[in-house]
Structure 1
Amino acid sequence: MKPELKRAYNSGKLILFAGAGLSRNLGLPEWHELIAHLAKELGYDPQIFNSYGNHLSLAEYYKQVKGSLGPLRSWMDREWHRPDIDVRSSEIHTLITQGDFSRIYTTNYDRWLEVAHDAHNVPYSKVANAADLVSLTEEKRHIIKLHGDFDDDTSIVLDESSYFERLYFDSPLDIKLTHDVMGNSVLFIGYSISDFNIRLLFYRLTKMWGRTGLATARPKSYLFTNRNNPVAQEVLGQWGIEMIVSEEDDPRKALKDFLTELIDR
């Protein structure tokens, strides 16, 4: 365990950023299954449809043909929240609820982080849009749904247009994010190192810190993975993100062991 990371956690200065890998731990559908559903709905062979673009452009096409993402969002909500899923069986979700994180940001649409907190009686405030910011207090943990929430169709970032809008980083949630990460370390779990949004965010923050002349005061951030990538390690390093690479082959066990060591005082 990195001593600086442990100190940031123990002092309450560590923000958790949870990605799709956290949801896969529960057996939720992956992107290729979503694309296959899009293809079926639109009358295409999934393999052929997948060759026409990435998931953003294909979702954009679906929205144009169907008139909205409403039917797709409804299907995703059902598939992502199947009644056979028991979040209490997820040691990783349990560890997160037990951890001392005042802020948890996520780009996941599903509700399993919130359900896990409910199951373990940990109070929190969910933030999915600007209206949610009004009633925030410091007494409860903040769970910020940066790419939207299934409870609000308009908040979902899934198609190309909505994704491009997010790249401006000028929404109220983005302002909160910038404020939070400027004074805290960030720990990314369940993320692909190729996630463009995250890379762009830290690129911009690096430029922002550079303009202050106080770049050396910037808190370090971390990305946990069990897949070594020296190219990503170098690129992310210049943006203030240090990769922590586990030697454990099983990603679920690797993350469980890491979180156990992190939150153990």
Structure 2
Amino acid sequence: MRVELLEAHRSGKLMLFVGAGVSANLGLPSWGQLIAQIAKELGYDPAVFATYGNYQTLAEFYKKKRGGLGELRSWMDREWHKPSTDIKASDIHRLITQGNFSRIYTTNYDRWLEIAHSEFGVKYDRIASVADMVAVRDGHRQIIKFHGDFAADESIVLDETSYYQRLNFDTPLDIKLRNDVLSNSVLFVGYSLTDFNIRLLFYRLTEMWGRSPLASVRPKSYVFTHRPNPAAEEVLRHWGIEMIVSEEDDPKKALTDFLQELVT
């Protein structure tokens, strides 16, 4: 474990960024299942429909056909929050709540991070809009829903249009992110390094620091993965992001072991 990473965590200067891989450990539906559901609702063969584009393109198609994401969002909310899911059995979520993280940003729509904080007795404030920002309380951990929340259709970043709008990086949440990364190290968990959207986020964060007069004292940022990727490692290193690779093949155990070492 990197000394600088441990020190940033110990001092409360480490910000966590949580991706879909963390929710996947709960057995939630995959993007493939989401595409199949879109196909079903629109009357297409799922196997054929999946060849028409990625999930953002197909969600955009759905939105144009149905006039909104309402029905699809409702299905996702139900499927992502089944009563049979036992959050207390998730060591990953338990360890996240126990961590000394100054902020938790997430690109996940589901509420399992919030539910875990409630179940494990950690006070938090959920932030998905400007109204949420003004209601934050001292002593409460901030959970920032960077790609929206199932509670509000308009906040969901799922279709192409919403992704393109998000890529402008000029919303109140983006301004908050810029302020937060200036004084905290960032640790990314649960992300695929081949995902264009997260790589763009890495690049944007690097740009933010490059424009800052404090660039020379930029806190280190890290991304955890269980798969070696020399190409990504080299690119991210030039962007000021250090890749931490586990020797454990199983992604769930790899992340659990890493968080265990970090927070205990």
TM-score normalised by the shorter chain: which range applies? over 0.9
1:42 matches 2:49: no
1:204 matches 2:204: yes
Identity across the alignment (%): 66
Cα separation, 2, equivalents of 1:206 and 1:154: 28
Cα separation, 1, equivalents of 2:15 and 2:219: 11
Cα separation, 1, equivalents of 2:241 and 2:212: 19
User: Secondary structure at the residue paired with 1:117?
Assistant: helix
Cα separation, 1, equivalents of 2:199 and 2:138: 28
Distance change >3 Å, CA 177–CA 211, structure 1 → 2:
closer
Cα separation, 2, equivalents of 1:164 and 1:132: 23
1:181 matches 2:153: no
* Normalised TM-score (structure 1): 0.96
Which moves more between the two structures, 208-217 or 143-152?
208-217
Letter in 1 for 2:40: K
The superposition leaves residues 145-198 of structure 1 with CA deviations (integer Å, 9 ceiling, x where unpaired) of 000001111100010001100001111011101110111110000011133333
Letter in 1 for 2:35: I
Name 1:102's counterpart in structure 2: 102
Unmatched segments (≥5 aa) in structure 1: none
C-alpha displacement at 1:40, in angstroms?
A: 0.9
Letter in 2 for 1:231: A
* Normalised TM-score (structure 2): 0.97
Number of residue pairs matched by the alignment: 264
C-alpha displacement at 1:64, in angstroms?
A: 0.6
Cα separation, 2, equivalents of 1:207 and 1:41: 40
Name 1:246's counterpart in structure 2: 246
Distance change >3 Å, CA 92–CA 243, structure 1 → 2:
same
Cα separation, 2, equivalents of 1:139 and 1:68: 38
Check the 8 A contact 1:15/1:187 in 2, yes or no. Answer: yes
Check the 8 A contact 1:221/1:240 in 2, yes or no. Answer: yes
C-alpha displacement at 1:103, in angstroms?
A: 0.5
Check the 8 A contact 2:191/2:198 in 1, yes or no. Answer: no
Name 2:261's counterpart in structure 1: 261
Map 1:26-105; keep pairs closer than 5 Å.
26-105=26-105
Check the 8 A contact 2:17/2:186 in 1, yes or no. Answer: yes
Check the 8 A contact 1:202/1:240 in 2, yes or no. Answer: no
Check the 8 A contact 1:102/1:140 in 2, yes or no. Answer: no
C-alpha displacement at 1:213, in angstroms?
A: 5.6
Map 1:232-243; keep pairs closer than 5 Å.
232-243=232-243
**RMSD value, Cα:** 1.2
Check the 8 A contact 1:185/1:221 in 2, yes or no. Answer: yes
Distance change >3 Å, CA 219–CA 110, structure 1 → 2:
same
Distance change >3 Å, CA 142–CA 226, structure 1 → 2:
same
Name 2:154's counterpart in structure 1: 154
Name 2:138's counterpart in structure 1: 138
Letter in 2 for 1:18: V
The superposition leaves residues 216-253 of structure 1 with CA deviations (integer Å, 9 ceiling, x where unpaired) of 31111000010010010011111111110000011111
Cα separation, 2, equivalents of 1:78 and 1:34: 12
C-alpha displacement at 1:86, in angstroms?
A: 0.6
Distance change >3 Å, CA 213–CA 182, structure 1 → 2:
closer
Name 1:220's counterpart in structure 2: 220
Name 1:23's counterpart in structure 2: 23
Cα separation, 2, equivalents of 1:173 and 1:5: 25
Distance change >3 Å, CA 124–CA 215, structure 1 → 2:
same
